[in-house]
Amino acid sequence: MRIRTGLVATVGALILLVGLSASAFAAEGQFQYTYSGLDGRPQVAVLDDPRTWVCHTLPEVGDPGSSSPAHSPRNRTDDRARVFTEPGCTGDSFVLRPHTGYGSERLKLRSVVFF
């Protein structure tokens, strides 16, 4: 009986630990950016609670051959964001600070990583 109780406690602790560690690897908050829609009008997109240390290629502008890059990023997450001019977190980059980091229309981006 003690072995079963110990096993249940161990499994419960592992489940709790895995749940906590998964949320620990996400930046809390929103990352916003503006891109040109199919009709040419500006559209605002948002990444909610993005994962950290993972490259996020922005889906609306990920294909350099068919779309213009996004611009005017707003980093309202609790982590720093490095924005890149090319998909796959390549090309020139710029770091936006947590909570208040932003860029103008001149800051072009196609991907971002949070750290």
pLDDT digits (tens, 9 = 90+) for 49-108: 999 999 999 999 999 888 899 999 999 999 999 999 999 999 999 999 999 999 999 999
- Model confidence at 3, pLDDT cuts 50, 70, 90, reads low
d(CA 112, CA 26): 14
Q: How many CB atoms lie within 10 A of CB 112?
A: 24
pTM: 0.77
Domains, in order of start, for the chain: 26-114 (2.60.20.10)
Over residues 16-66, the pLDDT tens digits come to 444 444 446 899 999 999 999 989 999 999 999 999 999 999 999 999 888
